[in-house]
């Protein structure tokens, strides 16, 4: 079942960070208005238009490690579900 953070329509985009597999490159197209920590996201470069790489999913689905602007960081899956992305390519296909 698709996890949806809010009803503002942002989930109708391409998909959330929580849904994409490891090795996927994607561009951020939106962040839910109800997302907690929107300022924190902006401070680390998680803003619309930024490209990121999904590096790993932690066991049991708690955290997702992403690379944004040459920096790796971990996000909780609930927060990742509020970040909407458009897949650009798989990193293995470069």
Tell me the pTM: 0.77
Sign of CA dihedral 89, 77, 64, 31: positive
Q: What's the pLDDT at 40?
A: 87
pLDDT at 42 over 60: yes
Sign of CA dihedral 15, 16, 20, 23: positive
pLDDT at 41 over 70: yes
pLDDT tens digits for 15-35? 899 999 999 999 999 999 888
Q: What's the pLDDT at 13?
A: 45
pLDDT at 51 over 90: yes
For each of the domains in the chain, give its residue range(s) and CATH number, in order of start.
10-93 (2.30.30.90)
Q: What's the pLDDT at 54?
A: 95
């Amino acid at each position: 079942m698709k996890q949806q953070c809010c009803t503002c329509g942002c989930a109708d985009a391409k998909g959330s960070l929580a849904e994409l597999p490891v090795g996927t490159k994607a561009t951020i197209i939106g962040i839910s208005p109800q997302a907690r920590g929107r300022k924190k996201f902006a401070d680390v470069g998680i803003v619309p238009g930024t490209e990121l790489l999904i590096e790993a999913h932690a066991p049991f689905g708690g955290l997702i490690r992403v690379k944004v602007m040459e920096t790796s960081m971990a996000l909780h899956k609930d927060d990742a579900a509020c970040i909407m992305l458009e897949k650009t390519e798989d990193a293995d296909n470069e």
